[in-house]
């Protein structure tokens, strides 16, 4: 099976595309692949509980359902530290989640360690 990286830069302003990114990650896990997601730019806001609970994409489903399936399947989230700081995403937003803040060099490293990369 493959290691897949999903790089997400769209946030709540584009709910269909944001939910699609999580749906693709969930689908990859359902197929038995290992999945990591790197959230950057406005996408870091997707990790907030209120966004997870309320974002629904047109034809792409509920963000919370995709997120829960990703977590249950062992998916890992990386959030751009600079994007998070600029948007007020803090430790309290990621406490208890399989997530960590990361700098751009981590995105580069992850892209080289994974077999495939999808960008949304």
Domain regions of the chain by residue span: 3-119
Write the secondary structure of the chain as one string of H (helix), E (strand) and C (coil). CCEEEEEECCCCCCHHHHHHHHHHHHHHHHCCCEEEEEECHHHHHHHCHHHHHHCEECCCEEHHHHHHHHHHCCCEEEEEHHHHHHHCCCHHHHCCCCEEEECHHHHHHHHHHCCEEEEC
Whole-model pTM: value is 0.97
Which CATH number applies to 3-119: 3.40.1260.10, 2.60.120.620, 3.40.50.300, 2.60.40.10? 3.40.1260.10
Using one digit for the tens of pLDDT, what is the confidence trace for 45-55? 999 999 999 99
For every one of its 120 residues, what pLDDT tens digit does the chain have, with 9 covering 90 and above?
999 999 999 999 999 999 999 999 999 999 999 999 999 999 999 999 999 999 999 999 999 999 999 999 999 999 999 999 999 999 999 999 999 999 999 999 999 999 999 999
pLDDT at residue 69, rounded to an integer: 98
pLDDT at residue 99, rounded to an integer: 98
């Amino acid at each position: 099976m493959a290691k897949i990286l999903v790089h997400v830069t769209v946030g709540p302003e584009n709910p269909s595309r944001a939910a699609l990114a999580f749906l693709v990650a969930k689908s990859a896990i359902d197929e038995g692949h290992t999945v990591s997601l790197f959230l950057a730019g406005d996408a870091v806001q997707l990790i907030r509980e209120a966004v997870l609970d309320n974002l629904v994409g047109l034809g792409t489903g509920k963000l919370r359902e995709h997120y829960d399936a990703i977590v249950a399947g062992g998916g890992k989230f990386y959030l751009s530290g600079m994007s998070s700081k600029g948007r007020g995403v803090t430790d309290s937003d990621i406490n208890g989640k399989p997530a960590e803040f990361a700098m751009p060099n981590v995105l580069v490293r992850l892209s080289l360690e994974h077999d495939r990369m999808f960008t949304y």
